[in-house]
Structure 1
Amino acid sequence: MAPRIVLVGLGALGAGYASRLLDAGCDLRVLVDPGRAARYAERPTIVNGRPYDFPLSTGADGPADLAVVAVKRAALDEAIALLRPCVDERTVILSLLNGIDSEEVLARAFPAATVLLAVSVGIDAVRDGRDVRFTSLGRILVGEPANPGPAADRVATVAALLTGAGIECAVPADMVRELWWKWLINVGVNQVSALSRAPYRVLQDRDNPAREVMVAAQREVIAVANARGVALDEHDIVRWLAVLDGLGPDNYTSMAQDALAGRPTEVDGFGGTVVTLGRELGVPVPVNTVLYGLLKGAEAASPPR
């Protein structure tokens, strides 16, 4: 019997992965509230030019084997409410949220379930209304807090399911470090791209000063991580720059998309968290302090949409 999968969050990232799961014949349902169910029923989601009528559910189908959470951090409480009837002791939860704390929140909300650490790296999906396009889905890194040897059965099962659906997946030896590495990426590229309203090609340009600001913000994450006992270093920035060079040059980060659309951004989980941790740990973070302040100021000056 095929595993039952539910997904919350049909934005750029969620729609990209949902299209692969549906194409692979997976038993997938997209969890929605009644309002979204009505809106989604009116028009299919378009992914790379192809219409998808994703199967929708309000949770009445019962517990799922795998729950994928692909919302923005501000919508996590709403996602948890939608997930409640779909989670029991057999459910594995995969959080693809940016930041370093969503797994802890989900584990508190669903203590009987298995919450794995996961990050999506190298995806360049862009959403415009119900239209989503991407040139790269990147890969998902998944695991328990430490995977020193062969993956545990639940990790291996999830990795095999994703790989079978055409979603590249890997199980790193130190998943906590990878979680912080993804956060390092987002703190730099998302904040700088949101302020500059720039696509990836601006930050791929080695001569553009915006790239230097991105790297400077990421070096502050390394300092904070080291103070917390997470062994990030300069090689992690080199790893990121190699990923950056492979992204669609005219695509935008999720935070730049939000800024351009006048939507609230995830700045509190990026620069805001760096500033808070820097203060707690006695680590100077002047670049992130400025980025956080400017982004919060820009949000306050923008009329709500």
Structure 2
Amino acid sequence: MTAKYRVVIQGAGAMGAAYASKFFEHDPDSIAFIASGDRYERLRNDGLIINKKQVFIPVYSPEDKPASPDLIIVALKHQHLKGALPDLQNLVGPNTTILSVMNGLDSEKIIGEVYGMEKMVFAISVGIDAQRFNNYIRFDHIGTIFFGEKTNQILSSRVLHLQSIFTTAGIPFKTPEDMVRIMWWKFMINVGTNQPSAILSAPYGVFQTSEHAQHIMEAAMNEVITIAQAAKVNLVKKDIQDWYTFLLSLNPKGKTSMLQDIEAGRETEVEIFAGKMIELGKTYQIETPVNEILYHAIKVLQQSSNTRK
């Protein structure tokens, strides 16, 4: 089969692998990873085990010069982004769009500074419950990708093209009119759910059922709403309730990416969650006491993990 489109994913962790598996199921010729060093060799030689099935998804090295893809999906941890961006140099072509499903508010700007903001669409991923254990990836729900230009009252031709790609691969998506607001909504979810989950060692089921966990979650989220409104972003209290619709659909045993990082002894993304909130609080002269406590608590967990290594 000759692929009608080409997608390359940078990042073969839980989220990147889950999305790659959906493209691969539809058309093995439509998808490839980009990786370097040992990761490139492992993907080539060992493949991945996704939902108990071993798959060998094609992988490019930074030195390869394939035809430019329609879409590059960046699914890295924030701390790895800047060092990995040069790997995309031989892939980005005149008609390539780059979509980041990374956490935080800054990845689009960081990528755009290298390859041009005109290459970027804005995106978040919500409701995916993929987990990674070494080379094994498991997910029950692929979630929904919200993506588009900053504003989408009228859909651009590239947004329509990406919609057709996701439709063909069976990946649910939505294109909201105001993507900036949705980016902040996802930031609110990460700040409120990922961080307490790491501190409490709590899977999604705890937040689905425990009023005490929900209280902590909502306290952190309310700080995000206050900062967002100061930044003239239309985030409101109802957005917390809208999150519960997604939260209650997740596997109760599923874990946030930050909890997985803590358990695996990996560096967390606390700097782009609580760290970013503390920075924004200083910018807008708004106190962020909940996130300050979360920040230091997670730093303690990271230090303890490093000591045990």
TM-score (norm 2): 0.95
Residue aligning to 1:224: 227
The letter of the residue matching 1:137 is I
2:160 paired residue among 156, 163, 171: 156
Q: How does 1:1-305 map to 2 (within 5 A)?
A: 2-25=4-27, 26-59=29-62, 60=64, 61-111=66-116, 113-149=118-154, 151-207=155-211, 209-303=212-306
Answer yes or no: is the 8 Å Cα contact 1:73–1:266 preserved in 2.
yes
Q: Deviations over 1:66-95 (max 9, x none)?
A: 111001101111331111111133210000
Answer yes or no: is the 8 Å Cα contact 1:87–1:113 preserved in 2.
no
The letter of the residue matching 2:21 is S
The letter of the residue matching 1:9 is G
SS of 1:137's equivalent in the other structure is coil
Q: Deviations over 1:236-269 (max 9, x none)?
A: 1001111101100001001000011111100000
* Structure 1 segments unaligned to the other structure (5+ residues): none
Structure 1 runs (4+) deviating above 3 angstroms are none
| Mapped partners of 1:41, 1:63: distance in 2 | 20
Q: Deviations over 1:139-168 (max 9, x none)?
A: 10110001113x101011111101210100
Q: Report the CA distance between 1:302 and its aligned residue.
A: 2.0
Aligned residues: 303
SS of 1:15's equivalent in the other structure is helix
SS of 1:148's equivalent in the other structure is coil
SS of 1:303's equivalent in the other structure is helix
| Mapped partners of 1:248, 1:239: distance in 2 | 18
SS of 2:254's equivalent in the other structure is coil
Change in 2 beyond 3 A, CA 1:236/1:53: same
Answer yes or no: is the 8 Å Cα contact 2:128–2:143 preserved in 1.
yes
| Mapped partners of 2:157, 2:42: distance in 1 | 38
* Structure 2 segments unaligned to the other structure (5+ residues): none
Answer yes or no: is the 8 Å Cα contact 2:262–2:305 preserved in 1.
no
| Mapped partners of 2:107, 2:242: distance in 1 | 24
| Mapped partners of 2:128, 2:6: distance in 1 | 24
The letter of the residue matching 2:233 is V
SS of 1:97's equivalent in the other structure is coil
| Mapped partners of 1:141, 1:12: distance in 2 | 18
Q: Report the CA distance between 1:113 and its aligned residue.
A: 5.0
Q: Report the CA distance between 1:62 and its aligned residue.
A: 4.4
Identity %, equivalent residues: 38
TM-score (norm 1): 0.96
Answer yes or no: is the 8 Å Cα contact 2:127–2:247 preserved in 1.
yes
Q: Deviations over 1:215-242 (max 9, x none)?
A: 1000000000000000100111001111
The letter of the residue matching 1:97 is M
Answer yes or no: is the 8 Å Cα contact 2:44–2:58 preserved in 1.
no
| Mapped partners of 2:246, 2:117: distance in 1 | 36
| Mapped partners of 1:251, 1:243: distance in 2 | 13
The letter of the residue matching 1:135 is D
| Mapped partners of 1:22, 1:158: distance in 2 | 17
Q: Report the CA distance between 1:211 and its aligned residue.
A: 1.7
Greater CA deviation, 57-66 or 171-180?
57-66
